[in-house]
Structure 1
Amino acid sequence: MRGHTVAILLLPGASPIDVGIPTQVFARRHGLNYVVVPCAAEIGPVPGRDGLGFHVEAGLETLDGADTVIVPGFQNPTGPIDPRVLDALRAAAFRGARMVSICGGAFALAAAGILDGRRATTHWLNAGRLAREYPKVRVDDSVLFVDDGQVLTAAGVAAGIDLCLHIVRRDHGVQASNEIARVMVAAPYRSGGQAQYVPRSIPEPLGDVFALTREWALAHLEQPLTVAVLARHAGVSARTFGRRFVEDTGYTPMQWVLRARVDLARELLERTDLGVDQIAARVGVGTGANLRMHFQRILRISPSEYRRTFAAAPGGGPKLAEAGAAASARRSGAAAR
């Protein structure tokens, strides 16, 4: 099978961490079919930010055949961008390549017109500037990343990890994504709707308590979990818990629990032969009918379709069949984050 080419386009002043994140997540050593190719407008040295630079061996022609194009943040996002770069980005988007930005990379996609009419995000410090410079873009400064189907944008720094892992989940399923997260010692799953930055008017230890409560809930998904139960574990009132939980995660407690249950069901569909009814009971949604309903609403796919696409192959790895691309396309507009 032809590899899935991930072109990482380095612009002058490229952020080292934004470049490093996709090279780590999509590395060949993880055993998936990604082929990472750093590229730039010109072959050779590319100045980086924070005292680090790069040397690339591929030019803009890489974008001609790339399946995914990633633009990391760069030094001067509101300054002029090489017209050749903008033309190459437009051409890649026009032929259907998946277009991705991390942090200030959104400015390059916006300058190429790729974000016009779309919801997108960038680092909260630059979100206002992005909205002013490109009024056709529906800028959301309150989320970690936005999946708008063909075009995906992430907020700053660590949110790039969340988005790249989300892409792996779209392509290869939750088990593959979780395995890469473990290798990277990263959180396996932070939803795109989680808040970027929340001004705190409460002591930080309360946030630590909520993190422990979320961890506890993940270990008890098969049990009845209500706001009252979670608040009791956190040691706060249900009203306080509900309000602060939304600020921390972007979801209400019950929305978060449901998505965690669907996530666990995805992993069980991938790595076990349990029936849909058995999985539904194990993840706490009751019946197979309930599980099917939640899958359709959240993932736009049925449990059986998901299993056919992502269940472990005889060799032990995830299936990398063409069905995966079809399922990803069906889910591309879904709120699976």
Structure 2
Amino acid sequence: MSARYLPWLAGLTLLLCSVIAVVGWRYVSPGSTVLPEHRPLELPAPKEGRNRHLVAVMGANEGTETTDFMIPYGVLKASGQFEVVSVSTGPGPVQLHPALTVRLDQTREAFDAAQPEGADIVIVPALHRADDPEAIQWLQRQAASGAVIVGVCDGVLTLAHAGLLRDKLATGHWFSLGRLGRQFKDTTWVRGWRFVADDRVVTTTGVSASLPVSLALVEAAAGAAHADRLALDLGIEDFDVRHDSDAFGLSFAMLLTIARNALAFWNHERLELPVEDGIDEIALALSADAWSRTFRSRVVATHPDRRWVRSRRGLVIEAVQDMDATETLQPVIDPSAAALDDTLVEIGERYGMPTASLVAMQLEYVW
């Protein structure tokens, strides 16, 4: 290895050691509680003049978590029970994190002009800037109009900044519960459930909770039988809300895996994931998100000659042409939810089981 990389490696090593030193403080959750019973998720009737609930799935242009955004969009669209609109904070494409770029239906301003009475349900994924004042004011207006606000994963942090969790029960990603508990002491932070509903506010645990909370919304709107059929269609055998929150945490072995994968930059890969019209956005999100959390690989959606493709349920996804990739991944296939397990197996085969387990831990997924 060239000597010119040594200062860079020394700096990165120091940074990783600092992360190891403080990470325990970051996610220890003081004062969180376990509820003996789970409150069911209930929806009010659609607003006057509507036959179905209008759902606004929010995305921040500068950064929105991939699965938090795409799973609720895809599942609620697939149910056929909602009018689903994707809403961006501003004009132009929305950069998803850690992978993919999408173009949404409307900006906030266009949505407000078209729907002055507001949405029935607003989905809030983890946003790059959780305390964005304009996003917070928009959510406050939506909540004041009577909308049910659903914070997915670290979207919960934006709800907290908006004051929507004051004097309520809530949950969050295992890594964030400690910070949430210290910063927002007027909220009762809950462990042991995939999502928590309190009046017209719903909060979830980590990234993979986007699936059960989406199915719970379907059940609240259309009944258990419809939700069960949809779950089977998507390849989900069980979407139980019970959750062992205490099973999640960063071990020293996982921190070493992060350090090993991040420091070995000469082994980092760009992986090509072909997309085309009609691709399943649920499976795509799960696969692209997981591959991009290995600290060794980054996924780029590609198409031979088109920049934009439209997913099975209408989401417009950006594709790159002529990419110099390390390897081309197999296109994602049905059933939708099986993509995550399949991807974790492939990650384990390519990078080793410690890396696959690290990815599952980030997604707060039992695997």
The TM-score bracket by the shorter chain reads 0.5 to 0.7
Distance 1:129 1:199 in 2: 16
What is the Cα deviation at residue 86 of structure 1?
1.0
Match of 1:137 in 2: 187
Match of 2:128 in 1: 75
Match of 1:57 in 2: 105
Distance 1:17 1:197 in 2: 23
Give, as a single letter, the amino acid of the residue that structure 2 aligns with 1:174: A
Q: What are the within-5 Å matches in structure 2 for residues 1-337 of structure 1?
A: 2-11=51-60, 12-27=62-77, 29-32=78-81, 34-61=82-109, 62=111, 64=116, 65-77=118-130, 80-81=131-132, 83-191=133-241, 193-198=242-247
The answer as to whether partners of 2:79 and 2:218 remain within 8 angstroms in 1 is no
For residue 194 of structure 1, give the secondary structure of its aligned residue in structure 2: coil
Distance 1:3 1:21 in 2: 20
For residue 7 of structure 1, give the secondary structure of its aligned residue in structure 2: strand
Distance 2:100 2:173 in 1: 21
Task: Name which of structure 1's ranges 1-10 and 164-173 shifts more when overlaid on structure 2.
Answer: 1-10
Normalising to structure 2: TM-score of the pair?
0.50
Give, as a single letter, the amino acid of the residue that structure 1 aligns with 2:121: T
What is the Cα deviation at residue 76 of structure 1?
4.8
Residues 207-254 of structure 1: CA deviation (Å, up to 9, x unaligned): xxxxxxxxxxxxxxxxxxxxxxxxxxxxxxxxxxxxxxxxxxxxxxxx
Residues 179-206 of structure 1: CA deviation (Å, up to 9, x unaligned): 1111111134312x42234269xxxxxx
For residue 106 of structure 2, give the secondary structure of its aligned residue in structure 1: coil
**Change in 2 beyond 3 A, CA 1:24/1:185:** same
Match of 2:349 in 1: none
The answer as to whether partners of 1:49 and 1:74 remain within 8 angstroms in 2 is no
Give, as a single letter, the amino acid of the residue that structure 2 aligns with 1:137: T
Q: Which structure: greater helix fraction? A: 1
What is the Cα deviation at residue 143 of structure 1?
2.4
What is the Cα deviation at residue 30 of structure 1?
3.1
For residue 114 of structure 1, give the secondary structure of its aligned residue in structure 2: coil
The answer as to whether partners of 1:14 and 1:48 remain within 8 angstroms in 2 is yes
Distance 1:72 1:157 in 2: 9
What is the Cα deviation at residue 52 of structure 1?
1.9
For residue 166 of structure 2, give the secondary structure of its aligned residue in structure 1: coil
Distance 1:18 1:133 in 2: 23
**Change in 2 beyond 3 A, CA 1:59/1:84:** same
Normalising to structure 1: TM-score of the pair?
0.54
Q: Which structure: greater strand fraction? A: 2
Distance 1:94 1:4 in 2: 17
Distance 2:95 2:203 in 1: 23
Aligned residue pair count: 194
The answer as to whether partners of 1:121 and 1:139 remain within 8 angstroms in 2 is yes
Give, as a single letter, the amino acid of the residue that structure 1 aligns with 2:124: V
* CA RMSD, 1 decimal: 2.0
Distance 2:171 2:212 in 1: 13
For residue 44 of structure 1, give the secondary structure of its aligned residue in structure 2: coil
What is the Cα deviation at residue 69 of structure 1?
0.3
What is the Cα deviation at residue 47 of structure 1?
2.0
Residues 39-74 of structure 1: CA deviation (Å, up to 9, x unaligned): 122121122211322222312243652110010123
The answer as to whether partners of 1:18 and 1:160 remain within 8 angstroms in 2 is yes
Distance 2:184 2:98 in 1: 27
Identity, % of aligned positions: 29
Distance 1:142 1:128 in 2: 15
Distance 1:199 1:136 in 2: 25
What is the Cα deviation at residue 134 of structure 1?
1.7
Q: Which has the higher contact order (CA 8 A, sep 6+)?
A: 2
Distance 1:14 1:71 in 2: 9
| Structure 2 residues not aligned, in runs of 5+ | 1-49, 250-367
| Structure 1 residues not aligned, in runs of 5+ | 201-337
Distance 2:99 2:239 in 1: 31
The answer as to whether partners of 2:174 and 2:248 remain within 8 angstroms in 1 is no
The answer as to whether partners of 1:177 and 1:188 remain within 8 angstroms in 2 is no
**Change in 2 beyond 3 A, CA 1:163/1:30:** closer
